A and B are shown apart, each in its own frame.
Chain A
Amino acid sequence: MKNYIYIFIDKFFSRLRRVIPLFCVVTLITTHSSCTKDIEIEIPDSAKQIVVEGSIERDGPPVILLTKSQKFFDNIDINNLGAYFVRGAYIKIRASDGTTVNLTEYCLQNLPLSEQEKEVLLNALGIPYHDTLPLPDVCIYTVPDIISFFTTGTCSFMGKAKTRYDLEIIAPPLTAGGDSVRVTSYTTIPESTGLDSLGIKQHPNPSYRDSFVAVYAYFSVPDTFGNAIRYWTKRNSEPFYKPESGSVYDDKLFIGLTVGLPIDRGRPSNEEFDINTSPYFRKGDTVTVKWSNIDYNTYQFFYTLENDAGDSPFSSPVKIKSNIQNGLGIWAGYNSKYYTLVIPK
């Protein structure tokens, strides 16, 4: 779902930012000078912080990745990736219905999965798979009986709608000689509002109409404030991807309305953006939309994350609004529904 706030602000400001390079282009033509150059910056020391990337879906187990923030100009490659993960943490989740669970750490190298399954798992985390190099020591925390979830679709602790989940993590010291770190958070799985339907419209550019279509989501927004949405899309058998920006929206602009708005295709972050193809789907694609209700703190995290354009004459940096106390990242509850549309050839 493309939030129209983004359509205006993102598109407009991205055009605005392009005005500046335009000057460069004009002056380049006349002077053959360069408008940009590399600059060395000495970064002051800052304390490492624990980073939570946790989620709990309705009817799904909680899954948490624990990493550490890194000094800005540090490299990340396949050899040191494992060192970014926080190992040996104690993690406890308490639901508002009184149930609790202590999470177990699973590392990729020890999982009883095939190489192909590990490759899929790595790609889902945004990490490339190198068949000639050893697997990175990537670990996640989840319920102790996660295998049961994969085999039977159920496990001892699963998310429920209208339930709050309190998270407590006690992690070992992030640096040698430091203290252990305790972080807390909470999230709520809200009720689902869902979509009314998916539909298609022709591509606005006649040159692309033979191959591409725009997919529209039709939905009704309740007339009570406080609903927020996040969405992903997938084509055929590829994984779900979130759109480049505008994956979240709140309901203030559409309160009480039934609207149909274009959906941007989600795509991997390394795929180059093309205005004529990136937001669109190909004829013949089977499109699945994951449409998730989220709580307001989760909305604010992704909203601030997606709108940080850095410091420039045209913007100020945006500090990402985290719901993690004493750490960074997000502990998010999702109430998701899935919708599939087969685009005729």
Chain B
Amino acid sequence: MNRVKVLIRGLLCLYGVTIIWDAIAQGTVKPTRFTISGYVKEAANGEAMMGAAVYAVEPGKGATTNEYGFYSLTLPEGEYTLRISYIGFTTIEKKVSLREDIRLNFDMSNAAAQIQEVVVTGERKGQNVESTDMGKQQLSVEVSKSLPALLGEVDVLKTLQLLPGIANAGEGNSAMYVRGGGPDQNLVLLDDAVVYNTGHLFGFFSVFNSDAVKNTTVIKGGMPANYGGRISSVVDVQMKEGNMKRWSATGGIGLISSRLTVEGPIKKERASFIVSARRTYIDVLLRPILPKIGDGEFAGNEYFFYDINAKVNYRISDKDRLYLSGYFGRDVFNFRDPGGNFKLNFPWGNATATFRWNHLFSDKLFMNTMLIYNDFGFKANTSFQDVTFSLNSSVREATAKIDFDYSPIAGHMLQFGGQYNFHIFTPYQATGNAGETTFRTTNQERKYAHESSVYFLDDFDATSWLKINTGLRASLFNFVGPFSKIIFSNGIAIDTLRYRPGENIATYWGIEPRFSSRIKIDNQSSIKVGITYNQQYIHLVSSSTTTLPVDLWVPSTKTVKPQLGLQGAVGYFRNFKDDMIETSVEVYYKHLWNQIEYGESAVGNITVDVEDLFTFGRGWTYGAEFFVKKAKGKWTGWVGYTLAWSWRKFPEINEGEKFLARFDRRHDLSIVQMYEFNRHWKVSATFVYATGQRTTLPVSFFLNEGEPQFVYGKRNWFRMPPYHRLDFGFVYTIIPKRKLKINFTSDITFSLYNAYNRMNPYFIYIINEGTIGGNPNDDENGAFRFKAKQASLFPILPSVTWNFKF
């Protein structure tokens, strides 16, 4: 930890030096300055545009719009040409005579709509070379919609997995491992609300309905100080705001689900709404088929999921704007054994609600205040013969957050703010009835925690070639009462801990410095360096690789210490052909402290505090990421390749020896290509290759009571065969020959998943043949032996979806 202190001191010194430098640079001349500020919106629907560049050509200084489309640019008095640009949109140029503070809003028209181009990123031109962002990608939802999708379900998280440094958690899974970190180390936000479980159907589909999503931003490293609470990455999903100008509806009918989105103005140019919903109907389609499969053993299975996104926004004045958005999603799994022996009703899902108030104090100072509620929970109601049993678990969070953006002068952006979260963790709480007796879980008390943080960051041009983004985040976490727990030793209760409501049980705090800089080599290339230190106070430990709803989120306590992450990265960024082709190479090293795993003999159990099953260690990951992207034109796409290592070392696992993590991927290649032939036909293809996942298989066995029992080898000693797959997508846009009264368009999307029918390994399992002590010459009771089998999930899978919009 001494190294961390040294690092903090170093960063503080550097920050002090750069502030002085900046002050000197800006203070040598003191002309009268005025501010141009305003909002940049999409002309077609009034949606705010994040990341648009507002650039004053003459001094060569500019600003970028924030999440709400707001920009502020303070310049000396004078005449300027403002250039507003955003890839895929027609660049606007406007002459401005700056003699006073002025407010200028811009409506940008989609160039793609006019010239039929696909645009890969939602960002300004040259952003990757110009900004201090490292490991950051912003993806427009249109990209996800252009790519082939498993069973036709467009999934923004699976699109992110095609970027270098982001690995999926297995075949068809939307959970992510970013730069060798665990899945709970990703901060996944939907309109600033944390989404605790990102997967429907045990992770095969993400909870994000693509029709309701505007943009997705992922930050793999170099996390700026306004984000915190996780040590690997940020996935920030923004919902659409709703069309301010006209009513419209979009939807689709697919193989397994259908979607409908309605949006429109409540009051034109002042208030709008969007409601988007989808539901699967595989349960309805399979209901008549299931009893006919096998011996009818699947007849009682029923599964469906649905989700609803809704948002309203109201522009009270030019200075104030309100947003209210929410998400509600549920998966429901019902099982009823045909004979009535066993029944299970198992619903789970997330809910989020975000209220936001944007306020402009001045042309330079923008405030965003948020009140957020989010939860994730599951229930399981079962009955076995005449015994009934109900189990529930949840994580709930209430958040108050305030952010300020302050732009004192062109090329200088300060952000500061604070956040408070109140967490409630409900572990497995169960009640049951056996006849007239009611029983319930003991030792499964709720856990309460306060988490607060303040941050400050400064993104500024130190010189024409050096841009720095530096910041500090201070965080505090308190695990508080009421709480009680019985302490067991060898099954015998030896003590009971009791804490009063509000009583402090454990406190952790930390200073988290963040630093990144861009050194511009020329207009087309730059070098970036970044280092970030993060603390994570809440944790999800899973014995699976996927997002199982039964996995528990737990707070830091006396036993569980906060996870700490220190990441350093260096990157070279170069664009070609007027930013049409973007390339980058990034290398990173990440060290992770207080990592958590289940102990080697841990078995999930509703009668023990799950933290008593944990064991703690550390991890380190390193790698290089190569990325080439063609951002616009008829032919677009990218190639990403990652070479990486991910290590773990736990004193109580693998006899204390270091081991490669389950998701250690030595090579990970993604090739994504899209081509637009004409107004009707668009074709896409993706190819992925990944080194096989690691797994722990038995190396020997022994007999107990006549049955063989496994003895496992070293942790993750076996690497499964590599994973590779080629998908094709075809989109045929139906354009009415005659102009209709309503502007109705539709398309048919064909996807071919796993085109060459590769049997990719999903997991390896063991079966046995014969009888222990059997006669080797007997076919029926022959010699006993084990056999390894590889299970694959998805063979070649065609799908078709009809999408419409009017």
Contact (Cβ within 8 A) B711 A260: no
- Per-residue 0/1 for B363-396: is the Cβ within 8 Å of any A Cβ (1 yes, 0 no)? 0000000000000000010101111010100000
- Whole-angstrom distance from the CB of A75 to the nearest CB of chain B? 4
A261 to B344, CA, bound (A): 18
Q: Which of A141-149, A282-290, A312-320 contacts B (4 or more CB under 8 A)?
A: A312-320
Chain A, residues 286-315, CB within 8 Å of chain B (1/0): the string is 000000000011011001110110111111
Residues of B within 8 A of A38 (CB): 787-790
Given A53-B704, A320-B709, does the pair A77, B774 have CB atoms closer than 8 Å? yes
Q: State whether A305 touches B704 (Cβ < 8 A).
A: yes
Q: Which of B342, B442, B706 contacts A269 (CB 8 A)?
A: B706
Complex contacts, B603 vs chain A, CB 8 Å? 303-304, 307, 318
Contacts of B491 in A (CB 8 A): 225-226, 228, 250, 296, 299
Q: Tell me the complex Cα distance, A70–B602, Å.
A: 24
A109 interfacial contact with B, CB 8 Å: no
Which A residues are CB-close (under 8 A) to B346?
A: 12
Measured CA separation A79–B385 after assembly (Å): 45
Interface size for B (C-beta < 8 A) is: 110
> 1/0 contact trace for A64-85 toward B, CB 8 Å?
0001111111111111010010
A113 interface residue per 8 A CB criterion = no
Residues of chain A within 8 A of B389, CB atoms compared: 4, 7-8
CB of A176 within 8 Å of the partner chain: no
Interface centre among B294, B430, B774, B796 (most CB of A within 10 A): B774
Say yes or no: B783 contacts A77, CB within 8 Å: yes
Interface residues in A28-59 (C-beta closer than 8 Å to B): 30-31, 33-41, 43-44, 46, 48-49, 51, 53
Collect the chain A residues with CB atoms within 8 Å of residue B386's CB: 201, 204, 262
Is the C-beta of B293 less than 8 angstroms from some C-beta in chain A? yes
A185 to chain B, nearest CB (A): 14
B679 at the binding interface (Cβ < 8 Å): no
For residue B382, which residues in chain A have a CB less than 8 angstroms away from its CB? 7-8, 11-12
Taking the complex as formed, is B699 at the interface, i.e. its CB lies under 8 A from any CB of chain A? yes
Which residues from B are CB-within-8-Å of A329? 702, 704
Bound Cα distance from A307 to B765, whole angstroms? 15
Q: Is B545 an interface residue (CB 8 A)?
A: yes
- Given A7-B389, A23-B793, A18–B298 Cβ distance below 8 Å? yes
> CB of A63 within 8 A of chain B?
no
| B797 in contact with A8 (CB, 8 Å) | no
Contact between chains at B795 and A33 (CB < 8 Å): yes
Partner-contacting stretch, out of B90-98, B116-124, B712-720: B712-720
> Whole-angstrom distance between the alpha carbons of A60 and B586 in the complex?
69
A191 to B: closest C-beta gap in Å? 13
A25 at the interface (CB under 8 A from B): yes
A311 and B764 CA atoms in complex are apart in Å by 8
- Say whether A304 contacts B601, CB under 8 Å: yes
Select which of A11, A252, A254 is within 8 A of B443 by beta carbon: A252
- Residue A107 is within 8 A (CB to CB) of chain B in the complex: no
Q: A252-B443, A314-B544 are in contact. Are A39 and B342 (CB under 8 A)?
A: no
- Closest chain A CB from B173 CB (angstroms): 8
Any B CB within 8 A of the CB of A258: yes
Closest-CB distance, B485 to chain A (whole angstroms): 13
Chain B 738-763: CB-based contact to A (< 8 A → 1; otherwise 0): 00000000000000000001010111
Instruction: Identify which of B439, B543, B763 contacts A254 (C-beta below 8 A).
Output: B439
Task: Tell me how far the C-beta of A166 lies from the nearest C-beta in chain B, rounded to whole angstroms.
Answer: 17
Asked if B791 is an interface residue, CB under 8 A from chain A, the answer is: yes
Q: Give residues of chain B (590-624) contacting chain A, Cβ–Cβ below 8 Å.
A: 598, 600-608
Task: For B700, give its contact among A4, A22, A41, A46 (CB under 8 Å).
Answer: A46
Q: Which residue of A75, A254, A259, A308 contacts B783 across the interface (Cβ within 8 Å)?
A: A75
Q: Does B486 lie within 8 Å of A24, measured CB to CB?
A: no
Q: Of the candidates A25, A67, A253, which one forms a contact with B441 in the assembled complex, judged by CB atoms under 8 Å apart?
A: A253
Residue-wise, chain B 683-726 has the 8 Å CB interface mask toward A (1 for contact) of 00000000000011111111111110111110001100100000
Given A18-B298, A26-B286, A44-B717; A258-B437 close (CB under 8 Å): yes
For residue A180, CB closer than 8 A to chain B, the reply is: no
Question: B333 contacts which chain A residues (CB < 8 A)?
Answer: 15, 19
Flag if A204 contacts B775 (CB, 8 Å): no
A126 contacts B606, C-beta separation under 8 Å: no
Tell whether, in the assembled complex, residue B793 and residue A19 are in contact, meaning their CB atoms are under 8 Å apart.
no
Q: Does B776 contact A (CB under 8 A)?
A: yes
Assess the B791–A250 pair: CB atoms within 8 A. no
Which of these, A8, A81, A259, A275, contacts B434 with CB under 8 Å? Answer: A259
Q: In the complex the two chains form, is A9's CB within 8 Å of B604's CB?
A: yes
Other A-B contacts than A51-B702, A226-B490, A330-B704, 20 sampled, CB-CB below 8 A, are: A19-B202, A36-B790, A36-B792, A49-B702, A78-B776, A204-B340, A206-B340, A252-B442, A253-B441, A255-B442, A259-B434, A260-B435, A275-B337, A276-B341, A300-B601, A308-B710, A310-B765, A312-B765, A317-B696, A319-B601
A-B residue pairs in contact (CB < 8 Å), sample of 22: A5-B605, A36-B791, A37-B759, A39-B721, A39-B761, A39-B789, A43-B699, A48-B700, A49-B702, A51-B703, A69-B702, A70-B702, A77-B776, A128-B781, A130-B775, A205-B340, A225-B486, A253-B430, A253-B439, A257-B439, A303-B603, A316-B598
* A residues in contact (CB < 8 Å) with B: 2, 4-5, 7-9, 11-12, 15-16, 18-20, 22-27, 30-31, 33-41, 43-44, 46, 48-49, 51, 53, 67-79, 81, 84, 122, 125-128, 130, 133, 136, 201, 204-208, 214, 224-226, 228, 242, 250, 252-255, 257-262, 269-270, 275-276, 279, 296-297, 299-300, 303-305, 307-308, 310-321, 328-330
Closest 7 CB pairs of A and B: A126-B706, A205-B339, A77-B783, A296-B491, A33-B795, A252-B607, A226-B492
